[in-house]
Amino acid sequence: MEAKARAPGKIILSGEHAVVHGFTAVAASIDLYTYVSIRFPTPSDNHDMLKLQLKDMGLEFSWPISKIAEVLPESGSQSSSVPISCSVESSKSIAALVEEQNIPEAKIGLASGVSAFLWLYSSIQRFKPATVVVTSELPLGSGLGSSAAFSVALAAALLACTDLVSLDVNDQGWLSFGEKELELVNKWAFEGEKIIHGKPSGIDNTVSTYGNMISFRSGNLTHIRANMPLKMLITNTKVGRNTKALVAGLAERTLRHPDAMSFVFSAVDAISKELAQIIQSPTPDDLSVTEKEGKIEELMEMNQGLLQCMGVSHAAIETVLRTTLKYKLASKLTGAGGGGCVLTLLPTLLSGTVVEKVISELESCGLQCFTAGIGGKGVEISFGVPS
């Protein structure tokens, strides 16, 4: 038997970074997924290892399970129904387990993902040999929440193999978790995000777990029911960056200028609340879709200006903003910034020819454009026979 989970990436429509400081943000899932499958060896497989295959990267890591039990004794003594944070002691042991795998220098960013894997695996499945395979449709480190999708899919697949989750293993296709189970997946995924992000707000793992569109503030989510179509062009600047470093840099800026930054964050909070209200308000009784789109564009531009104040924009992001503005289209960075992806609203009445022109101009600058379905389902699980 094999358990396979898939968890979606996300876009942040407004409020990234401010959400880390306790202000409102609005996010939606996208239909690009990270998949995690788990298979426990049969007696004939005859292995006592924990193996992690990162298929897209062509990397495989493995540890004797006895070694994990020896250096992470804490994991064996806790209950998988109560998510706990990785202690300083355990994070040192995990760092040593990761270091001995000699991750190639060019892919060293994966070390935090592998660390999150070791913590979640040993805490939930303890010291059982297994092979875990990961694949992803999301670009890593680009603002589309690959770290959260990884943590959510991992937590879901691991929990699906415990008696804490009661799904019918004979059911075919993708299955949804119950409310209590989703809550547990989300809490464990948050522990994974903490290892990758340092100080996450929790918005990314929450939207990846629950899907759809949410407004999020101080750990609390409110579901948003969109009353209008929303189409975004996503442009990947392909400039690499790391969320943990960007969040830490902004925390320092906030310490240097607490009063100024609190106004910036409050302004973002107001933008997110207005955005949520526009998206949910009835159409056409209230405003026409075109009027709503005009307001959303203005809010996106304002949010982008405030992200510039936070110091998380980048020359490549500015190139996208300038290019799309030539076609009277509004854009903002999404996720941590510093490179990564930019969102451009594609209004419903925009002609296909203009979309083609803007994409071709962006791509001629070496950027990569795509669209994705917004607001689909959150994490799901399937059971099957391994191929």
Ligand X SMILES: C[C@@](O)(CCOP(=O)(O)O)CC(=O)O
Ligand Y SMILES: Nc1ncnc2c1ncn2[C@@H]1O[C@H](COP(=O)(O)OP(=O)(O)O)[C@@H](O)[C@H]1O
**Hey, which residues are catalytic here?**
204
Shortest Å, Cβ 353 to ligand Y: 32
Interacting residue with ligand X among 5, 13, 20, 140 (CB under 6 A):
20
Q: By C-beta, is 242 or 304 nearer to ligand Y?
A: 242
**With CB cut-offs between 5 and 8 Å by kind, which of Mg ion, ligand Y, ligand X, none does residue 157 bind?**
none
Closer to ligand Y by Cβ: residue 141 or 375: 141
- Interface pick for ligand X out of 191, 204, 293, 380 (rule CB under 6 A): 204
**203 makes contact with ligand X (CB under 6 A):** yes
Q: Total residues contacting ligand Y (rule CB under 6 A)?
A: 22
Measured from the CB of residue 322, what is the shortest distance to ligand X in angstroms?
Answer: 22
Q: Which region, judged by CB under 6 A, interacts with ligand X, from 155-163, 200-208, 272-280, 369-377?
A: 200-208
Query: What's the min distance (Å) between Cβ of 219 and ligand Y?
Result: 18
Q: Which stretch binds ligand Y (CB under 6 A): 60-68, 146-154, 349-357, 358-366?
A: 146-154
17 part of the interface to ligand X, by CB under 6 A? yes
**Near ligand X in 126-155, by CB under 6 A:** 143-145, 147
Task: Provide the minimum distance between the beta carbon of 15 and ligand X in the complex, in angstroms, as a whole number.
Answer: 7
Binding mask 326-345 for ligand X (x = CB under 6 A): ---------xx---------
Task: Check binding of 144 to ligand Y (CB under 6 A).
Answer: yes
**Which residues pair with residue 135 across a beta bridge?**
35
Give the binding site for ligand X (CB under 6 A).
16-17, 19-20, 143-145, 147, 197, 200-201, 203-204, 243, 247, 335-336
Q: Which residues bind ligand Y (CB under 6 A)?
A: 34, 54, 109-110, 112-113, 134, 136, 140-147, 150, 196-197, 242-243, 335
